[in-house]
Amino acid sequence: MRALRIALLFLLGACHMHDLREETAALSLGPESMAQRQMQIRRFDTRDEAGILSATAALLQDLGFTIEESAARNGFVVGSKDRETAAPGQSADQKLLAALFGMPGGVQTIRASIVTKPSANAAAVVVRVTFQRVVWSKQNQMPSLETIGEPLIYQRFFDRLSQAVFLEAHQI
Amino acid sequence: MSRHALLLIAGLCFLPMLSGCQTDSLHQVLYTEKSQVELRSAQTRVFNTTDKDLTVHNVIATLQDLGFVVDKVDGTLGMVSATKLSGYVMRMTVTVRPHGASQTAVRASAQYNLVAVSDPAPYQQFFAALEKAMFLTANEID
């Protein structure tokens, strides 16, 4: 991850100028932040925070992530995986067709960061997951850098976590 | 003077410039755009609470609200590092430590792509967001 980050910075440094407005915008709460929070958070009715965190780490492993860091005391685990941009299960022929029709393949690094904490009344555990990815297209030199904002991805992640801990995931 | 000799002289003239490049790049190791006092003032706020764990939790929640993905957390030292990818790379480290008997100091330092963020304005935005999470006023450090 560190090598990736340095490579990214090298590329970005070449084409981005220092801009105070952009820096300020990057640290300002946007109008979309509330909706994003709701998408990224679920509440589980249990007091077993360590159990939830452990199940989360196991789910990350199920999904092919490598755990990079964890801090149980703070309810934190982060993992990443490198994958092709082609949809899983795509055959070599399909990949060739996609390339022929101007949809070149590429590689991506996906990161998942999960933070758990007791709810305000300590009767439940609140889980927040955030996904981000760097996509390197074979055509473009510049990678695409993004926080994943598709609600379905988060919904499915929490569905899987819910099944793993035999508890319903409540929206907050 | 032959052409070769001219080239040699020209090359010798460029040599100090090349070595200058290398020295300049080493300057980055200890370089800061602003003085230590100015930086600390822009990057630090104190909150009227002694609850370090809660402050760390609120820092994490604020970073997540701002679109960061948390990279590292050390509750003992009160340190959180996070990265935001949104067409740029912004990296941030936030430290939480006791400040006197009744306050907690929070210091944030960020880099935007290849540049250290040293202007107060971006930090003001960060602390405004943290204030909301803390339900406490962020006071400038003395």
Q: Are B99 and A163 in contact (CB under 8 A)?
A: no
* CATH number, domain with residue A150: 3.30.310.80
CA-based nearest residue to A134, from B114, B109, B112, B83: B83
Q: Assess whether pLDDT exceeds 90 at residue B31.
A: no
Q: Is the pLDDT of residue B135 over 90?
A: no
Q: Which domain holds residue A115?
A: 39-85+92-170
Q: Are residues B16 and B40 in the same domain?
A: no
CB contact under 8 A, B66 and A18: no
**pLDDT classification of B34: cutoffs 50, 70, 90:** confident
Is residue A26 a part of any domain in this protein? no
Do B37 and B24 sit in the same domain of this protein?
no
What is the reported pLDDT for B18?
52
Kindly state whether residues B82 and B127 are assigned to the same domain: yes
Residues 70-99 of chain B whose Cβ lies under 8 A from any Cβ of chain A: 70-76, 83-91
Question: Does one domain contain both B39 and B102?
Answer: yes
Q: Which pTM was predicted? A: 0.77
Q: Is the pLDDT of residue B17 over 60?
A: no
Residue B99 predicted with pLDDT over 60:
yes
Number of domains, chain A = 1
When pLDDT is averaged across residues B56-85 and rounded to a whole number, the result is 94
- pLDDT at position B87 over 80: yes
Contacts of A12 in chain B (CB under 8 A): 88-89, 113-114
- Residue A7 included in any domain: no
Asked whether residue B10 falls in the same domain as residue B68, the answer is no
User: Inter-chain contact B65–A29, Cβ cutoff 8 Å?
Assistant: yes
Q: Which domain holds residue B52?
A: 32-140
Q: Which residues of chain A have pLDDT under 50?
A: none
Q: Is pLDDT larger for residue B28 or for residue A119?
A: A119
3-state secondary structure A66-96: EEEEEEHHHCEEEEEEEEECCCCCCCHHHHH
Give yes or no for B56 touching A (CB within 8 A). yes
CA distance A94 to B108: 48
Closest to A107 measured CA to CA, from A146, A133, A148, A137: A137
